[in-house]
């Protein structure tokens, strides 16, 4: 069975009834006992046990006292693969911290033992064998790190390993928890913890499923905040690694796990509330269908504005200056709604591990590109209405930047058919209107300033070249040539500025009114 397909409760119940917990603990005890007779055993111990139905890999480590500040420290991970073995869990915005003693033990064995072990286990998984990775206390923490590292190279078609830990310190901060909570990796971890004897450091957060044991009862949950509430940590000396989980397991009555009487009512209530919030938070792609309704309204707003020979960019700008109609007010509300959705979705994508972004990106890629080209001009209108300057460099929201970047990374070539009707085309460069606004400001300066005239002229000529390139490639909407548009206002001013000393393909195109047939089907 692929343990990663099970929910938290199901995983705990299955493993408890299967005998895997007792088997794992017995092998940990066996390796500990063999190391106890050795003269020097300061570091990490690793042993592979080949069973009939599965392979067990055991990690053991010396006990640590969490009251020592060094043993509760964290190490921030970021950077490239050479600097960070867990680089694949980082994202463009987020790094995370790991429990320093566990990370140091992992690094110490990385080159000598773990690379070879990883290769061997991948071969076993490819042979359809079950793999259990286990450890207690600090050994369990290293087992968790190794499992995270191994999972990155396990093909989706293979069975995933199951990591079982006993009384192990939490290994990652809130950022790591956030990265893993909606990941398949999260379902590959079962942490057995004796409630009254498991010290908790609030700087670290749980992930995976927890089988929390009481005197003769247990409960399996995967709600991180409930785990933190249920683990009390009354062990005053905080020495991790001395609890005999064999005795804890012997006392368990597995039938108790079939109801939740152990769960205090207010804890259950808070779990339900968090589950509902999480459902709303991660149901963004389903909400996309609702957002499309608002996009339809904005598309209609665009068509209606075109009928008035204004263009929706300039109509929205006029609305901001003095509200025109309830329809305009509704469009402003819908703009905020779709912006909130896409900002939230982009933020969630950026928080995901690099290796898990592509699916979400692909599913919403074209909708995001259409949204950016349709709605960003309205944000630009609002930005310049409020007195902004240099939108592309200083005012652009990051979510637009990322949507554009991701779309370009897919290397999708737009269809540019010479015979195609462009009447409904959205301008390829969603920042086009910011360039128009900047050009208008330059034209205004040219009328009043003589000293910087050459510099200003170079700027406005660069804008002309930018526009002509888009016209030539048929990447700009015919709407820019509407009589009342800001672009036509700029052209009238520019034509007077360059009159008698500058001509180009663009000026000929405009002076000969060739733009009147631009975008028409041939």
Task: Write out the chain's pLDDT in tens, 522 residues.
Answer: 555 545 555 666 677 777 889 999 999 999 998 887 665 556 899 999 998 888 999 999 988 765 666 567 888 887 666 678 888 887 666 778 999 999 999 999 988 889 999 999 999 998 888 999 999 999 999 999 999 999 988 887 788 899 999 999 899 998 898 888 767 788 889 999 988 777 677 889 999 989 888 877 778 888 888 888 888 654 444 555 568 898 888 877 544 444 443 444 444 455 555 555 555 554 555 576 678 888 889 999 998 888 888 899 999 988 887 766 888 888 999 999 999 999 988 887 777 666 555 545 566 788 888 999 999 999 999 999 999 999 999 999 999 999 999 888 877 666 555 666 787 789 999 999 999 999 999 988 887 765 578 888 889 899 999 999 999 999 999 999 998 899 999 999 999 888 877 889 999 999 999 999 898 765
Strand duo 130-136 + 162-166: pairing: parallel
Residue 54 dihedral angles phi and psi, to the nearest 5°? -160, 165
What was the pLDDT predicted at 519? 81
Q: The whole model's pTM is what?
A: 0.61
How far, rounded to the nearest angstrom, does the alpha carbon of residue 437 sit from its chain's CA centroid?
34
Tokens representing 120 are 């061997």
For residues 341 and 356, give the distance between their C-alpha atoms in angstroms, rounded to a whole number: 20
For residues 23 and 17, give the distance between their C-alpha atoms in angstroms, rounded to a whole number: 12
3-state secondary structure of 213: strand
Angstrom CA distances, 323 to 313, 384, 482, 503, stand at 14, 17, 22, 40
Tokens representing 396 are 């652009």
Give me the numbers of helices (H) and strands (E) for the chain, helices first please: 18, 11
For residues 354 and 374, give the distance between their C-alpha atoms in angstroms, rounded to a whole number: 28
DSSP secondary structure letter of residue 387: T
Angstrom CA distances, 32 to 54, 58, 107, 244, 402, stand at 21, 10, 21, 12, 50
Helix (H) or strand (E) holding 360: helix 357-385
């Amino acid at each position: 069975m692929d343990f990663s397909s099970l929910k938290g409760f199901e995983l705990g119940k299955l493993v408890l009834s299967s005998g895997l917990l007792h088997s794992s603990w017995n092998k940990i005890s066996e390796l500990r006992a063999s190391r106890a007779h050795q003269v020097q055993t300061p570091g990490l111990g690793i042993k592979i046990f080949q069973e009939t139905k599965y392979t067990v890999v055991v990690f053991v480590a010396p006990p640590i006292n969490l009251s020592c500040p060094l043993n509760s420290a964290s190490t921030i991970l970021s950077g490239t693969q050479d600097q960070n073995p867990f680089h694949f869990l980082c994202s463009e915005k987020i790094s995370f911290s790991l429990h320093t003693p566990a990370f140091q033990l992992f690094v110490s064995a990385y080159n000598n033992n773990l690379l070879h072990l990883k290769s061997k286990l991948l071969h076993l998984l490819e042979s359809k064998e079950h793999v259990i990775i286990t450890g207690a206390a600090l050994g369990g923490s290293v087992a968790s790190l190794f499992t995270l590292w191994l999972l990155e190279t396990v093909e989706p078609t293979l069975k995933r390993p199951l990591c079982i830990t006993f009384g192990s310190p939490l290994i990652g901060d809130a950022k790591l928890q956030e990265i893993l909570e909606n990941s398949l990796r999260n379902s590959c971890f079962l942490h057995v913890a004796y409630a009254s004897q498991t010290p908790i450091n609030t700087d670290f957060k749980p992930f995976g499923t927890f089988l929390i044991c009481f005197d003769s009862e247990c409960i399996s949950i995967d709600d991180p905040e409930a785990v933190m509430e249920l683990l009390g940590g009354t062990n005053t000396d905080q020495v991790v690694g001395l609890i005999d989980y064999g005795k804890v397991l012997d006392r368990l009555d597995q039938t108790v796990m079939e109801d939740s009487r152990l769960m205090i009512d207010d804890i259950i209530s808070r779990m339900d509330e968090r589950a509902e919030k999480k459902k709303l938070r991660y149901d963004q792609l389903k909400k996309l269908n609702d957002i499309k309704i608002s996009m339809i309204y904005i598309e209609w707003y665009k068509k209606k504005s075109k009928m008035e020979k204004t263009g929706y960019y300039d109509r929205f700008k006029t609305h901001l200056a003095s509200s025109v109609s309830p329809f305009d007010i509704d469009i402003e509300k819908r703009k905020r709604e779709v912006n909130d959705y896409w900002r939230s979705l982009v933020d969630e994508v950026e928080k995901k591990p690099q290796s898990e972004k592509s699916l979400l990106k692909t599913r919403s890629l074209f909708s995001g590109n259409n949204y950016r080209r349709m709605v960003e001009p309205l944000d630009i209108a609002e930005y310049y209405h409020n007195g902004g300057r240099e939108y592309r460099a200083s005012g652009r929201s990051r979510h637009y930047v990322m949507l554009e970047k991701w779309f370009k990374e897919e290397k999708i070539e737009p269809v540019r058919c010479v015979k195609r009707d462009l009447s409904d085309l959205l301008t390829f460069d969603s920042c086009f209107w910011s360039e128009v606004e900047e050009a208008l400001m330059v034209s205004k300066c040219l009328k009043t300033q003589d000293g910087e005239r050459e510099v200003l002229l170079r700027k406005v000529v660069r804008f002309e070249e930018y526009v002509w390139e888009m016209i030539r490639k048929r990447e700009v909407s015919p709407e820019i040539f509407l009589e009342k548009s800001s672009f036509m206002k700029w052209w009238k001013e520019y034509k007077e500025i360059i009159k008698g000393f500058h001509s180009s393909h663009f000026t000929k195109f405009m002076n000969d009114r060739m733009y009147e047939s631009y975008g028409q089907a041939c």
